[in-house]
Amino acid sequence: MRRWREFLHARTLSWYALREHVGPFLFAMVIFTAIMLMNQVARQLQHLAGKGLGAGVILEVFVLSIPLTVAITIPMATLVATMAAFGRLSGDNEITAIQANGVGFHQILAPSVLAALLVAVATIGLNDTILPEANHQLTRLMTDIQRTRTTFVLQEKRINDPTGLGEWRMIPQEIDHETNMMYDLRIFDMTNLQEQRTILADSGRLEYTPTGEDAVLTLWSGQVHHRDITQPREYEVLHFDRQRIVLRGAGTQLDRGTEMQRIRSDREMDLETLLGNVRNEEVKIGRARESMAAAAAAHVATLVADTFAVATSDTAGAEVIRFQRPIDQERYRVNVVLREGEGIDFSHRQRNAFLVEYHKKFAIPVACIVFILVGAPIGVRARRGGYGFAMGASTLVFVFYYLLLTGGEDLADRRLLPPWVAMWAGNLIFLLLGAWLLRRTARETAGRGWRLPGVWPWRRSRSGEREEADTR
């Protein structure tokens, strides 16, 4: 009965330490997510600026960037929360007080590890469901935006090309930007190169159609000078009081294309699709190897026999191929070997790219658990570092982790490392570092044996056994 009371008391104190993570975790999530979102949107500004896009489209880009940002900031926030929580508990000597009540450092850490496990599972679900679809929709949207023509901006005393195709060129001497009125206009019609057509107008106004795709140019008090280059002796001048010209394609309209709905990159696929593509690439590799082996065997057999058949069929192909010269047949077989070798290399790279993305969907969430093991001992040693130290130190740790991740991805794409090694190397390195730091921290604190909350206390330290023996 006494042991159960001790167990319940230890569990209460352990979960008290977990509650200290909530505030720093939420604070870090908001800060890191906001910073990364601003960075993400800033990188897209070159594609968004000058497109005349509505606020809804800009907001959609912002919203679709959130899942990718959150998937990265969750491990960072976990690390910050662990450092800040254990730093405060250590700075206020609460860890010492908890351990004085018979709770070991590993018992204090166990609820945090359990919570990190739940966060990792939720993040894996995010990476498998919401993230691929958000990435796909964002890619489609940015592709549609890039195809959108730049918004036409009028400039005084300069050549303006409203359609962007060189069909209409106009030079206004003065522009009233409040009313969009232009004065003393000269317009060159280049739609028909066999005709020279110049329009002079006292004033004009450019307005867009309701759809935003075309523009209407209204001119007042002007002349149209027309000349056909096939009839150089004829020259025509027409006067007008009011004239309207429709400029096709002068407006800006976001065309939401549908041709990319079924085209997805590796970062836009869920786990099942990635594994399916891996299997498809492995099938391609197997077929290419068989074809290459057949072509190589036929080539070697021909060289050994030292005879050439003038008209034969290639053993590697299904259709009959006839050659005019024996040397052409051998060159073809050599080219088949080289081509299949290149195909095998390409399929290997594609397979590695899919496997890298597959393992990444697990490796980054699991980093939440690893960062708990690293952040807790660092926070205990930092003591009163506060949020500033936690965010600074966690940023350095995550930058190093991210470099390992991106470097491993590059090596895997170049077939220099297996994909699973490339993606899990960072977790393994920090796991070993965390185990070493935990061991040192546990020794430097209470030195008592540790028990897992939720199960029967199963181990006691030698010092505890000696204390009980002395009591008896």
pLDDT, residue 326, reads 63
Highest-scoring range by mean pLDDT, 170-174, 301-305, 468-472: 170-174
> 409 near 422, Cβ under 8 Å?
yes
Q: How far apart are CA 381 and CA 85, in angstroms?
A: 12
Q: Which residues pair with 225 in a beta bridge?
A: 198, 237
pLDDT, residue 131, reads 92
pLDDT, residue 354, reads 92
- In a 13 Å sphere around the CA of 147, the CA atoms on its Cβ side amount to 9
pLDDT at 85 over 70: yes
pLDDT at 301 over 70: yes
pLDDT at 61 over 80: yes
pLDDT at 68 over 60: yes
Q: How far apart are CA 266 and CA 98, in angstroms?
A: 48
pTM, whole model, 2 decimals?
0.66
**pLDDT cut 90: percent of the chain above it:** 21
pLDDT at 10 over 60: no
Condensed to tens digits (0 to 9), the pLDDT of residues 360-413 reads 999 999 999 999 999 888 888 776 666 777 788 888 888 899 999 999 988 988
Q: How much is the mean pLDDT over the chain?
A: 77
Residue scoring higher pLDDT (263 or 75) = 75
> 38 near 9, Cβ under 8 Å?
no
Residue scoring higher pLDDT (53 or 285) = 285
> 453 near 14, Cβ under 8 Å?
yes
Type of residue found at 200:
L
pLDDT category of residue 309 using cuts at 50, 70 and 90: very low
Condensed to tens digits (0 to 9), the pLDDT of residues 69-84 reads 999 999 999 999 888 8
Residue 215, judged by CB atoms within 10 A of its CB (0-12, 13-18, 19+), counts as buried
Nearest alpha-carbon partner for 215 in 256, 246, 258: 246
pLDDT, residue 268, reads 86
Question: Quick one: average pLDDT of 434-453?
Answer: 65
Q: How far apart are CA 15 and CA 137, in angstroms?
A: 41
Question: Quick one: average pLDDT of 85-106?
Answer: 75
Question: Quick one: average pLDDT of 183-195?
Answer: 84
pLDDT, residue 303, reads 64
At 435, which helix (H) or strand (E)? helix 419-444
Q: What letter does residue 21 receive in the DSSP assignment?
A: T
pLDDT, residue 12, reads 61
pLDDT, residue 393, reads 85
Q: How far apart are CA 61 and CA 247, in angstroms?
A: 30
Condensed to tens digits (0 to 9), the pLDDT of residues 157-171 reads 888 777 666 678 888
